[in-house]
Copies of this chain bind each other. A is one copy, B any other.
Amino acid sequence: MNTAFDHESIAATMDVLGKAARAATVGLARCDADQRNEALRQAAAAVRAQTGAILAANAKDMRASEARGLSGAMLDRLSLDRERVESMACGLETVAELPDPVGQVLAEWERPNGLTIQRVSVPLGVIGIIYESRPNVTADAAGLCLKSGNAVILRGGSESFHSSQAIHQCLIAGLSAAGIDPAAVQMVPTTDREAVGYLLSSMAEYLDVLIPRGGKSLIKRVQDEARVPVIGHLEGICHVYVHESADAEMAKEIVLNAKMRRTGICGAAETVLVDQAGARRLLPGIVDALSDAGCEVRGDEAVQAMAPGAVAATEEDWSTEYLDAIISIRIVDDISQAMEHIRQYGSGHTESIVADDDEAAARFLSDVDSAILLHNASTQFADGGEFGMGAEIGIATGRIHARGPVGAEQLTSYKYVVRGSGQTRP
């Protein structure tokens, strides 16, 4: 399918996808939860049955990417093995077990004139998902969309094209086995970047929302070009603020986990702020633990004075998402300066305060404006699974529609159902 497409045929192809997706929503609206869950379980079974075909397709993608000289981290994200394939299948089954997010009565009240009003959750409609190299996103994202009764158009990265197509075949098999229109989950059949442009700018008629998953340049392109509502996922410049009242051992463990458990996820901490008043007691243990774990520590002058192993942090460090074993540490005057630093350099993703002082914690949780705020816990809990949502498409850092982990519930809208007995408005 990945043959050359010219302008006109890309437009025509994309319109066909859009129309089919829109048409699929009608059938999806008539499906009950059992049918959607059955499709998810059948898709999981197909993924297991087709493990060989998926791995063969992935080997093709890996060979092409190695030939193009992709970095080790990129290759790792792209590569699949039996375990990763099994984990995709399990993910689909987990999503099938989640409560039905559609048709739920979110609120209900009665008016003095006797009208009863219900706010009832409904699917968003057609979701476009643009992602990069991880082929498992194909199954994860499609699973959540289907769970919430949405049709989805997937546009994966060009490196993972064959892997994603093989996974897509399993999703189609699941839909068909459950009697659902296979157009409920479609993949853009070309790696041409022009198809992304068309998805962003010319499909407002067919798409209700676009969700980009990927690096800065993808997000920027989507923000610049999209003519469709976007649920944004920006970078995570996450902070741990160690208040002067913090328990030293807890602060050390939380910082170490927030940075080093996995350095490549958006909820990994990139900057630590330590109160001046507690720095002598708190900082050395933190820096030693990080260094021992192989993390490069970059600090301001005060940090360098107390921790000779630290190299000098530049202004740029405070707004850098390392996604690596590097951390920046700054000594702050107090909680006000810490919050000001986060306001200035943060990305509104996730921040944690370590403090015994409950008043300081309450102020931080109330006044800092990020999607996720934690007290005495690691920023690496910023994850839909850890929140109990079963799975997530990502962490939304925008303020419209969904903020924080985007799970099946966040992929719904609602409508009002009003019941009367002949009421007319005076």
Contact = CB atoms under 8 A, between A and B. Distances in A.
Contact of A403 (B26, B230, B365, B414): B414
Interface string A362-380: 0001110111111111101
A192 interface: no
A111 B386 contact: yes
Contacts of A404: 119, 414-416
Interface in A239-269: 247, 250, 253-254, 256-258, 261
Interchain residue pairs A-B with the least CB separation, the first 4: A377-B420, A257-B424, A399-B413, A380-B425
B399 A208 contact: yes
B227 A230 contact: no
A388 B420 contact: no
A72 interface: no
Interface in A370-426: 370-378, 380-381, 383, 386-388, 398-401, 403-404, 413-425
A237 interface: no
A348 B365 CA distance: 39
B367 A30 contact: yes
Interface of A: 26, 29-30, 103, 109, 111, 115, 117, 119, 122, 124-125, 204, 208-209, 223-224, 227, 229-231, 247, 250, 253-254, 256-258, 261, 343, 365-367, 369-378, 380-381, 383, 386-388, 398-401, 403-404, 413-425
Contacts of A372: 415-416, 418
A232 B301 CA distance: 50
Given A122-B369, A372-B416, A378-B425, 4 more contacts: A111-B386, A224-B227, A373-B417, A400-B400
- Tallying the copies of this chain within the complex gives 2
A400 B401 contact: yes
A399 B254 contact: no
Nearest to A426: B261
Nearest to A371: B415
12 contacts: A26-B343, A111-B386, A209-B399, A247-B422, A261-B424, A369-B415, A373-B417, A376-B419, A376-B421, A377-B420, A380-B425, A403-B413
A160 to B, nearest CB: 27
A295 to B, nearest CB: 15
B257 A373 contact: no
A213 B122 CA distance: 25
Contacts of A388: 109, 111, 117
B375 A419 contact: yes
Given A417-B365, A418-B377, A419-B376, A424 B229 contact: no
